Structure 1
């Protein structure tokens, strides 16, 4: 079987449609369909089947797509070994991050790799309204993900996951709020408060759902914003309280204070996600290691400050 046609099958498994595969690989949809038909003839078994107006992989197709991933990993590993032998890591590495992840980690990361000759890191910040950061891995070498742990979908995709740091989430209050006199807060302290929330389903919102369950009453959410900066400004103006990440919230600098929450598991895990074959590239490995070092440094520095 042709490796390039196997890669198209893998792309179909990742992206879900012929149109998306065509756009990602700079081909026409008909060219992709034709190559997949050739692969089916080579395999001697149906690899796709109709599903409404589109197609999905058959059981055999899913198995062969996994084989395509194994082949890609083996090729990247062989290429990495050769590159390690003949030269230092080089080339372009693409990285996608959510805003506060970039705020914490990119300044130090860019400084750390600035002296690596032949290596270019191209970073992109994306809107945080991302249902699954794993969806970005086909288009970026490294994706910084914000979650409460490893998602099942990452294992299903076979993604390489490198945990970088855990960041506590605190309750943000306007300065002068009666609860700011306490060193920490419990869910019971927050009954009847007005909340400035985040979009439904975000990690912070799931913590608010836990608070509701513990208190046995629904939270009154006045507004919802995906941008932490807007949440900070609205809370500081006295319009409610919120859940915000500890290290990137400007406590006392803009009219708000933060307090830790007890009785609820409140943190977010920041990880680097990669397709397993890309994780084998020397240049990607170098950037991920620099990310791990910077995350450890940043976390230690801010834990001491707290």
Structure 2
């Protein structure tokens, strides 16, 4: 079977439609369909079937798509061995990240790889409202995502997952707030407070749901904002308290005080997600290792800063 046709089958499995595969591979939909029909003749059994106005993979098609992934991994591994032999990771690497992750990690990462000859790293940020950052892995070499933990769906999709950092989420208070006298805060301490929240379903909002469950009463949310900078400004002005990430919200720099939250799991796991074949590329491996080193450096630096 032709490796290029196997790759089209794999793209169909991941992207869900012939139109999406055509757009991603710079082909027409009819050209993609024709190549898949040739692959089907080579396989000798149906690989796709009509469903509604589109096509989906049969059981055999899904199995062969997984084989295509294995072939792609093997090819990238072979290329990686050759590149390692030449000791010259090079080429273009694309990375996308959520905004506060970029704020933490990109300045140091770009400095770390700036002098690597022949390596070009192109970075973008993404709207944090995206339901699942794993959906971006077909289009970027490295996708940096945050979640309460490593999601089972990432593993089910066969992605390589590289943990980078576990970041605590703290309670942000305006300076002078009575609760700032406490070193840590429990859900009970917060029962009568007005919150400056985030959109429903966001990781920080899930922490608020845990606080509600612990207290047995709904939290009073005055406002909701997507942007952390707006949340910080509203809290600093005395219009409520909020859940914010520890490493990008510093005490006293903008009229805020942050305190750790006890009694609920208030953390987010930051991970790099990659398609497994791309994870074998020397240039991508080099960037991932630099990303891990920067995450560790950033975490240690900010954990040693004096508390407010």
Match of 1:234 in 2: 234
| Cα pair distance change 1:222/1:57, threshold 3 Å | farther
Match of 1:282 in 2: 282
1:250-301, CA deviations, whole angstroms, 9 ceiling, x for partnerless residues?
3211121111100011111111110000000000111111111111111111
Number of residue pairs matched by the alignment: 306
Match of 2:60 in 1: 60
- 1:53 offset after TM fit, Å? 2.4
Give the unaligned 5+ runs of structure 2.
Answer: none
Distance of 1:62 and 1:175 partners within structure 2 = 57
Match of 1:47 in 2: 47
Match of 1:181 in 2: 181
Match of 1:95 in 2: 95
Distance of 1:173 and 1:232 partners within structure 2 = 9
Match of 1:17 in 2: 17
Distance of 1:156 and 1:46 partners within structure 2 = 24
Match of 2:263 in 1: 263
Write out the 4+ residue segments of structure 1 that deviate beyond 3 Å after TM superposition. none
Distance of 1:128 and 1:162 partners within structure 2 = 20
- 1:195 offset after TM fit, Å? 1.5
Aligned-partner SS, 1:251: coil
| Cα pair distance change 1:224/1:50, threshold 3 Å | farther
The answer to whether residue 301 in structure 2 is matched with residue 301 in structure 1 is yes
Distance of 1:224 and 1:37 partners within structure 2 = 51
1:10-46, CA deviations, whole angstroms, 9 ceiling, x for partnerless residues?
1111111111111111111221122112211211222
TM-score between both structures, scaled by the size of structure 1: 0.97
Aligned-partner SS, 1:41: helix
- 1:59 offset after TM fit, Å? 1.4
Distance of 1:237 and 1:34 partners within structure 2 = 62
Aligned-partner SS, 1:131: coil
Aligned-partner SS, 1:70: helix
The answer to whether residue 88 in structure 2 is matched with residue 77 in structure 1 is no
Distance of 2:39 and 2:250 partners within structure 1 = 55
Aligned-partner SS, 1:84: helix
TM-score between both structures, scaled by the size of structure 2: 0.96
Distance of 2:246 and 2:78 partners within structure 1 = 42
Match of 1:247 in 2: 247
Distance of 1:218 and 1:56 partners within structure 2 = 44
Give the unaligned 5+ runs of structure 1.
Answer: none
Match of 2:134 in 1: 134
1:116-141, CA deviations, whole angstroms, 9 ceiling, x for partnerless residues?
11111100011111211111110100
- 1:87 offset after TM fit, Å? 4.2
Q: How does 1:199-210 map to 2 (within 5 A)?
A: 199-210=199-210
| Cα pair distance change 1:51/1:200, threshold 3 Å | farther
